[in-house]
Amino acid sequence: MAIAVVVPDSQCDQERPELGMNRAVLLEVFFASAASGIGTIGFVWATVVLLGGFETELNQVDFWFITALSFFQAIRLFGGDWNADQKILFGLPLDALSQPKANGCSFLLCCLNYASCYTPKLSCLLFSGKVVCIFSAFLVRFLKFVVILGTLILSVARLILGNVAPHAEAANLKSAFSLYYGLSIVQAVVSYMAFSYSHAQQDMVQDIRDKYNFAAGDVEDEPFLVYYAHLKKICKAGGIAETLNMTLPAFAVASLGSNEQQVRVAAIKILQYLVQERDYKEQTLSAIRDSFGAAASLFRTMALTSQDKTSREAREGATSIMVELAGDLHISGLIPCATQSIYSLLKTSSRRRLDGMKILERLSTKNCNLADISSSDELMSKIIEFTEPKISRGVSTMADDGFQMAERALLVLTRLGGQTGEQGSMMRQVILRNVFLMSNIKEMLQGANNNDRRLQEMQKRGMGIVDGFALDSESRNHGAIIKILTLVLNIFRHGPNNEFRLAAGKTLARLTTESRVNCDAILTKENFQALRDTLFEVSERAHLVIAANILKNLCENCEAQHGQHDALLGFVQDNMEKILEAMYQLGSGDLIGEDMGTFLGLILQLSKLVTVADFNTYVAANGNGGDRRDFIQKLKSILERANEQETGVREMHPGIRRFTIELAIWMAQTWEQPQFHWKQRLEDCGMRSALVEAEQTARRAPWREDCKLSPGGVPVLEYEQSLHSLASRALELIR
């Protein structure tokens, strides 16, 4: 199985790091095969011709014809597709054909070096066994070289002795012996070449280490020796091109599913080494992602329960790789064992538990994985278990691992609860009904004034979970939310930093959208007083925008008979001038942004609560010379700018055109009070053309402009009336 791995840019003009080993394996197998083939020819020749006596019974012409034909047949022993393979072999650089440099300065020292350096380390055996094994290993390895040397010496010596066939009837015998001993010499030379390359493994392993920048102390030799053995198998099977093109990542990825434990462990270690190297990390992770079954093999390895050293190493290596890989994986329907493997990590008490949570958190970044995570009851119970903030004992007492576990668990729950559709709604109900989890979230939010940095991080995650409850009415109106609203309001007032306060304000605004229950909770005497003390007390626009958003929702959902209705209306009226002033101050670059959309939404709600005369007074107070033209011109500019956003719809507030058109409708409906001239002003300012354009382009992104919220670009809470219908109605009113 060949897998393409892109070489980093810095390596483009250099050879692949493993190419030297690939060439050496190819040459070793080539010479070993050649030596074996020559030996077979010599054996057959000696058996049939010399021992059979045919050399004295044939005339010289027949003898040489039969010899040539026999050798032609022997070429088949070498096999392979020579027409294709010769191009590959001829393409090897000349330096690859040279033998590895010997460490000794003489031939004898070189032999002794081979014999001593490759004696195995057998300290685990009994003493007597050690002696036998060491002697046997030394003898066998030494004899390999002695056989080559002995064959060479004997063959050369025999040829030097000269003619051994003095009689005429044995005329072919000298030629036969010359041919046989010549073959032996060639075989000895070729065998020596194969022997030399086979004993250069350590040098080649070090070469790979150097080229990949692997730290010698952290990288074992064994995985690369397994790679070497794998290459020999491929090359012996005739895969010359595959041998040369093989890479470490390709071998490792293809070997993850091997039936041999040694090969699997070697593959995992190689991938682990490569992932730790910055220059090869992305290419290696890409190779794993692109291989069907590689990620599943890693997950299965993570779930191993054996405690032997090999299994532990494989498990730890697979886990470290998966920590880096998880963010780009899709496990839904493809890797059914993933959640069970992660659970097996989370239930341990070692460092692997944190790695398991890291994997889970990174998997949760893909929406398609959330269903698999939420459907695992065991996994969900572990996630919820790790959310306990332990504030009662002081968050500073939490170990770093415990804090990271809690923070990542909360982040996973935020993503699970932030889904749209039925799956997200079900997940939010699971969270809301879990007393332990909701208690943990409340405990975090109650400690909002704590200046501990780690607790503040956990509070942000908890706020993210609460923010997700705004995505469906059942979750927004759940009884548990009412108790949390007061805590969120307190953070909005007294949060430890401005960023956290603004986040709390946005959560309040989302939770009060289309929720009379939550608005009533905010409008209780105590909470409303706290809100009044907080809103508009700072001058920065971001705070003002959030305040306007909350007030818009309160005005929209507060019934006239509510005890705080008059107080709310009076508060909004008192600050209306500030809202209009902020709207006029927004320049051309902010005409369709978040700020303008929020201000228009509040102005629209105010127009529905006050009389035409009062609204006219507010607008006139912020215009030039006391007329309404400036206000209408501003609305027209906003609508025209929004109509132009054909491709960049996401850049504008989704309610911009809707609020502008609804204000135009409100003004057109005041024709019964002609003293205010709203309808005529609309005509004079050219609002009709802007409305026509809005009607024609209303359907360009209905999924966005017809919904109140769009978390992560996904629309929720659809309006009752489409934007196109509103534009059509506005045109009818001003005709």
* Assigned domain for 169 exists: yes
Say if residue 186 is in the same domain as residue 37. yes
Highest mean pLDDT among 76-90, 111-125, 664-678: 664-678
User: What's the mean pLDDT in 697-704?
Assistant: 71
Question: If we measure between CA atoms, which residue out of 508, 393, 401 comes closest to residue 452?
Answer: 393
Say if residue 4 is in the same domain as residue 64. no
d(CA 489, CA 506): 11
What does the block give as tokens for 182?
Answer: 């010549």
Who wins on pLDDT, 529 or 468? 468
pLDDT of residue 127: 42
In whole angstroms, how far apart are CA 184 and each of 64, 177, 181, 189, 521?
Answer: 19, 11, 5, 9, 100
> Is residue 459 predicted with pLDDT exceeding 90?
no
pLDDT of residue 92: 55
Half-sphere exposure of 116 (CA within 13 A, CB side): 8
H helix and E strand count, the chain = 37, 2
In this predicted model, what pLDDT tens digit does every residue of 92-114 receive, in sequence order?
A: 554 444 444 444 334 433 543 44
Tell me the one-letter amino acid at 331: I
Say if residue 198 is in the same domain as residue 321. no
pLDDT of residue 343: 92
What does the block give as tokens for 589?
Answer: 């670059």
Say if residue 9 is in the same domain as residue 23. no
Domain total in the chain? 2
> How far, in whole angstroms, is CA 669 from its chain's centroid?
56
Say if residue 331 is in the same domain as residue 373. yes
Question: If we measure between CA atoms, which residue out of 706, 730, 724 comes closest to residue 716?
Answer: 706
Average pLDDT in the chain: 77
User: What's the mean pLDDT in 508-518?
Assistant: 90
In this predicted model, what pLDDT tens digit does every residue of 579-604 receive, in sequence order?
A: 888 888 887 778 888 888 888 998 89
Determine the Cα angle at 126 with ends 121 and 128, to 5°. 100
> Is residue 149 predicted with pLDDT exceeding 80?
no
Say if residue 52 is in the same domain as residue 178. yes
SS3 707: strand
pLDDT of residue 326: 92
* Assigned domain for 51 exists: yes
> Is residue 76 predicted with pLDDT exceeding 70?
no
* Assigned domain for 459 exists: no
In this predicted model, what pLDDT tens digit does every residue of 153-189 receive, in sequence order?
A: 766 776 666 555 455 456 666 777 777 777 778 778 8
* Assigned domain for 540 exists: no
**Helical ranges in 589-628 per DSSP H:** 594-609, 612-621
* Assigned domain for 134 exists: yes
Q: 726: which residues sit within 8 A by CB, 6+ positions away? A: 658, 661, 662, 665
Say if residue 175 is in the same domain as residue 97. yes
User: What's the mean pLDDT in 437-455?
Assistant: 79
- With pLDDT > 90 as the criterion, what percentage of the chain qualifies? 13
In this predicted model, what pLDDT tens digit does every residue of 215-266 receive, in sequence order?
A: 666 678 888 888 888 888 888 887 778 878 888 888 899 899 888 888 999 9
pLDDT of residue 670: 74
In this predicted model, what pLDDT tens digit does every residue of 647-687 receive, in sequence order?
A: 445 567 788 899 999 998 888 887 556 655 677 778 878 88
Where do we find the tokens 């996973």?
412
pLDDT of residue 11: 45
CB 436 within 8 A of CB 384: yes
Who wins on pLDDT, 481 or 547? 481
Q: Which of 361, 382, 403 is where one domain is finished?
A: 382
* Assigned domain for 267 exists: yes
Say if residue 147 is in the same domain as residue 173. yes
SS3 11: helix
Going by pLDDT thresholds of 50, 70 and 90, the confidence category of residue 646 is: low
> Is residue 123 predicted with pLDDT exceeding 70?
no
> Is residue 369 predicted with pLDDT exceeding 80?
yes
Going by pLDDT thresholds of 50, 70 and 90, the confidence category of residue 557 is: confident
Going by pLDDT thresholds of 50, 70 and 90, the confidence category of residue 432 is: very high
Helix (H) or strand (E) holding 718: strand 716-718
pLDDT of residue 383: 92
Say if residue 45 is in the same domain as residue 3. no
Say if residue 254 is in the same domain as residue 197. no
Domain that holds residue 45: 19-203
Choose the weakest-confidence range: 42-46, 160-164, 401-405, 479-483.
Answer: 160-164
**Helical ranges in 418-478 per DSSP H:** 421-433, 435-446, 453-468, 473-476
* Assigned domain for 228 exists: no
> Is residue 90 predicted with pLDDT exceeding 80?
no
> Is residue 715 predicted with pLDDT exceeding 80?
no
φ/ψ of residue 708, rounded to 5: -85, -35
Coarse DSSP helix, strand, coil percentages of the chain, rounded to the nearest 5 percent:
75, 0, 25
Say if residue 2 is in the same domain as residue 27. no
> Is residue 324 predicted with pLDDT exceeding 90?
yes
User: What's the mean pLDDT in 569-584?
Assistant: 82
Say if residue 306 is in the same domain as residue 366. yes
What does the block give as tokens for 51?
Answer: 């021992």
Q: 628: which residues sit within 8 A by CB, 6+ positions away? A: 616, 619, 620, 676, 677, 678, 681
* Assigned domain for 531 exists: no
Which CATH number do you get for residue 366? 1.25.10.10
pLDDT of residue 64: 64
Q: Which of 138, 170, 203 is where one domain is finished?
A: 203
Burial zone of 80 (CB within 10 Å; 0-12 exposed, 13-18 middle, 19+ buried): middle
Q: 439: which residues sit within 8 A by CB, 6+ positions away? A: none
d(CA 227, CA 224): 5
CB 218 within 8 A of CB 320: no
d(CA 387, CA 381): 10
Q: Which of 179, 203, 227 is where one domain is finished?
A: 203
> Is residue 12 predicted with pLDDT exceeding 90?
no
User: What's the mean pLDDT in 309-326?
Assistant: 90
User: What's the mean pLDDT in 493-511?
Assistant: 86
> Is residue 701 predicted with pLDDT exceeding 60?
yes
